Structure 1
Amino acid sequence: MFHGPLSDKDTQASALEILERRSKKRGLARVLPFLGPAFVVSVAYMDPGNFATNIQSGAQFGYLLIWVVVVSSLIAMFIQSLSAKLGIVTHKSLPEMVRQEYRPGARYFYWIQAELAAMATDLAEFLGAALGFHLLLGVPLLWGGILAALASIALLLLDRYGFRPVEAAISVLVGLIALAYVVELFLAHPDPGLVRGFIPRFEGSDSVLLAVGILGATVMPHVIYLHSALTQQRIPVQDPALKRRLLFFNNVDVVIALSIASFVNVAMLVAAAATFHQTGRTDIADITTAYQTLTPLLGPLASAAFAVALLSSGLSSTVVGTMAGQLVMQGFVGFAIPLWVRRLVTMLPSFLVILLGLDPTQVLVISQVVLSFAIPFALIPLLLFTGNRRLMGELANPPFTQALGWLIAAVITALNLYLLVQSLT
């Protein structure tokens, strides 16, 4: 999946030489060296939280809400392209820009809320990985958590060899998720009538609520912070013309990676619709129940593919969440701890949930409530900074982009507040 980190020779060459050399290639070979950052952040858009939402939507309403998943993916592409743009143009991450532009009190407030959001995200994702081991290997959930801890620490230790091996490992896991859902679709035999799901429509208030859940969970604050950090010094350029070309290649990276994430989310919903909705099992709204129901309906291969996808999603997303937490700390307050130490600390709440015997799916829902508070604190500064000509120069967002960005920010914030109220009541 991941094919092209720049070689040591490239990284030692000037940015101009790198881009000129790449520009002589054509087609996919020209783009491959620039792929990577968006594949890392794409994991957040197909994490275990998406499994629960998409399965419930497909089981309850069939193919009705496919269009909502597609719209959510387009919104994600727009936001992540702005985050990558901030890193490329300013050579600073979003947390570093907040530290530069805001007063100390605001910086520490931003850091605390971002850490809480990263912890809430990691809680859901680590539980997803533990549940994946539990389902795939048949081990108790506690042992699934221990295996998830060891596997995630092993992936994070790749960082000592540079960030590119981590990108490669995460990209492989993304490929496994996509492959698993190709198998799911093949076994589920979806109805050709699924094309009607691309037509925007609803069927009652429950479908509206589920659509709000899908849209409201589109933006994951930690990967907005992370994407700007992944691109800030990847290929350092100063000339605006070169930055424009680099922005083009990074937008290609975003479109490819998040299109794969979109396919996975659509495939989750379609597979659930074909397997559960069409057989009258509209009550399926739980990851474990969905897994257990797949075997009698489609056979053991389908349930195994589902467990592999969940495990790959949980492992990759929990690693990304840990890296995001590290970059948030470095950016906002200029302090860092070893990644493996952060991993040990942040997985303690997950083990507490497992030891207390709490429902993992219910914990996923609660984590989304916490995340709803953090979304405006990532989106609003991103729009303020990328639209500021003092910071971005001639590459500042044009008026249309700013207007669209503020509209998206307002809609997502309102939807998450609505979800928050619904969850609490």
Structure 2
Amino acid sequence: MGSTTGLLARTKKILKVLGPGLITGASDDDPSGIATYSQAGAQFGFQTLWTALITLPLMTGIQEMCARIGLVTTVGLTTTLKRHYPKWILYLMMVFSIPAIILNIGADIAGMGAVANLLFPSIKPIVFSFVFTVVLFVLIVFLPYEKIVAVLKYLCLSMFLYIAVPFFTHPNWTQVLRNTVVPSIQFNKDFIEILVAILGTTISPYLFFWQVTMEAEGVKSAKQLVLARRKLNRTDKENPDAREQGFVMRMIKKMQLDVNFGMFLSTLVMFFIILATGSALNLHGIKQIDTVEQAAKALEPVAGKASYLMFALGVMGTGLLAIPVLAGSLSYVVAETFGWRASLDHKYWQAKEFYLVILVSLAVGLLINYIGLSPIKALFYTAILYGLTCPIIIAIVLHIGNNKNIMKQYTNSRLSNTLGILTLIIMTAAAASLIYFQFV
């Protein structure tokens, strides 16, 4: 009994620490990610499984860097750029991030509409997309994001069904292990396209903005709580500088646990979606996914007739979680650029411009549904666009992380710089290769 109680106590302690990193990880497996990993598994079987081992340390390193920037500066990434860098760098960052975020919003909305139509074929996907857009705006305006997460995270549990699929399809586990630990790369357009999409959907710029802002808002709230407690405890004679440094270090340690856990869960889901679609689709001759019906068939070995329902719940759950992150990230960027009040904790009348940007981004995203691109293709192309534009944002984040005027004694460690530079090199090489194969 004692050991069980102790385990529960430790589990509660860990869950209490988890926050923005866990949400970021869950948001990373959005409909765009699901479509990309499904296409990778269907098209190339197990040949891209090794990307999970590569992307895990890279995405963890970048998100930890972003989180630390937020903790130290207590402001968003855009505000940091405004204060310490030339304006052209800020505008460059916006040019490379905003179009991709809007396309991501539109693709996610289209994907959610398509899976809803899968369950109710008599109602057109665009009708569902419109309803989802309205519901999302109402939720974002009238509910704190934490409450949205508390309800919707359970819809995402269906994603873990992918973990069971390989055990029902009985793949060659020796081949699975070999493809996981031994990278195999094909130097052709299709494979490089998939590789760029995987990198782009796992290491996405909008998550950088979100992580920085959420950590900044969290540390400000924590500082206010600590100051309130110290006012009640007048006997505290510790040196203020040492006290501040100890506080920041404690926050950094909690953040690192949070980020590591969130990125691990995200990568675990990624790995098993590729493995499940590789064993359930590729090995049975389905090597191209053009519709949500084809993507949903990957869950058939486990869910049977309920595979469409499980897939739909997963896509809708991740979409409803990720789109507020996407729209919120974009709105934080724009609001901080123009000096508007910006926070998802504010009521609508307290930050009208901030919420207006969210409304516009959702509306523009909805309009993308009318360009005639299939939802699966739109989701996949979004990941590719992130892969092409991400190196610029990573370079900016790396520079901030090493800027002593901004980060003081909390600049990047050797490990952080190694992971950050590796990420920059790999993503730049992949993007350059994809551009090259467009012309040969």
TM-score of the aligned structures, taking structure 2 as reference length: 0.80
- Does the C-alpha gap of structure 1 residues 296 and 180 become closer, same or farther in structure 2, counting only changes over 3 Å? closer
User: Which residue among 416, 423, 426 is the counterpart of 1:401?
Assistant: 416
User: Which residue among 194, 199, 205 is the counterpart of 2:181?
Assistant: 199
- Does the C-alpha gap of structure 1 residues 373 and 357 become closer, same or farther in structure 2, counting only changes over 3 Å? closer
Distance 2:51 2:182 in 1: 8
In our comparison, the structure showing a higher alpha carbon Rg is 2
How many residue pairs were aligned?
398
Letter in 2 for 1:147: V
Question: How far did residue 158 of structure 1 move?
Answer: 4.5
Q: State the match for 1:64 in structure 2.
A: 47
User: Which residue among 323, 327, 331 is the counterpart of 2:328?
Assistant: 323
String of CA shifts for 1:228-254, please: whole Å, max 9, x gaps.
100013134572222122111111111
Q: State the match for 1:16 in structure 2.
A: none
Distance 1:42 1:282 in 2: 28
Letter in 2 for 1:314: G
Q: State the match for 2:304 in structure 1.
A: 299
User: Which residue among 224, 229, 235 is the counterpart of 2:219?
Assistant: 235
User: Which residue among 107, 113, 123 is the counterpart of 1:124?
Assistant: 107
* Runs of 4+, deviation exceeding 6 Å: none
- Does the C-alpha gap of structure 1 residues 252 and 76 become closer, same or farther in structure 2, counting only changes over 3 Å? same
Q: State the match for 2:159 in structure 1.
A: 178
Distance 2:252 2:94 in 1: 28
Question: How far did residue 112 of structure 1 move?
Answer: 4.4
Distance 1:364 1:423 in 2: 20
Question: How far did residue 220 of structure 1 move?
Answer: 0.7
Contact 1:49–1:125 under 8 Å retained in 2? yes
Distance 1:211 1:305 in 2: 27
Runs of at least 5 residues in structure 1 that lack an aligned partner in the other structure: 1-24
- Does the C-alpha gap of structure 1 residues 64 and 377 become closer, same or farther in structure 2, counting only changes over 3 Å? closer
Contact 1:107–1:333 under 8 Å retained in 2? no
Letter in 1 for 2:44: F
TM-score of the aligned structures, taking structure 1 as reference length: 0.83
For residue 217 of structure 2, give the secondary structure of its aligned residue in structure 1: coil
Q: State the match for 2:339 in structure 1.
A: 334
Counterparts in 2 of 1:17-416, with a 5 A limit? Answer: 27-138=10-121, 139-159=123-143, 162-169=144-151, 171-174=153-156, 176-182=157-163, 184=165, 188-193=169-174, 194-202=176-184, 204-205=186-187, 208-209=191-192, 210-236=194-220, 237=223, 239-284=244-289, 286-291=291-296, 299-335=304-340, 337=352, 341-416=356-431
Contact 1:222–1:325 under 8 Å retained in 2? yes
Q: State the match for 2:232 in structure 1.
A: none
- Does the C-alpha gap of structure 1 residues 311 and 99 become closer, same or farther in structure 2, counting only changes over 3 Å? same
String of CA shifts for 1:354-396, please: whole Å, max 9, x gaps.
3343322332344344434532342122111111222222211
Q: State the match for 2:234 in structure 1.
A: none
Distance 1:136 1:411 in 2: 40
Distance 1:296 1:228 in 2: 40
Q: State the match for 2:237 in structure 1.
A: none
Deviates more, 1:187-196 or 1:247-256: 187-196
Q: State the match for 2:230 in structure 1.
A: none
- Does the C-alpha gap of structure 1 residues 59 and 367 become closer, same or farther in structure 2, counting only changes over 3 Å? closer
Contact 1:114–1:328 under 8 Å retained in 2? no
RMSD: 3.0
String of CA shifts for 1:287-309, please: whole Å, max 9, x gaps.
44333686599721223212221
Question: How far did residue 115 of structure 1 move?
Answer: 2.5
Question: How far did residue 69 of structure 1 move?
Answer: 2.2
- Does the C-alpha gap of structure 1 residues 374 and 169 become closer, same or farther in structure 2, counting only changes over 3 Å? farther
Question: Percent identity of the aligned residues?
Answer: 20
Question: How far did residue 225 of structure 1 move?
Answer: 1.0
Contact 1:184–1:306 under 8 Å retained in 2? no
- Does the C-alpha gap of structure 1 residues 204 and 355 become closer, same or farther in structure 2, counting only changes over 3 Å? closer
Letter in 2 for 1:110: M
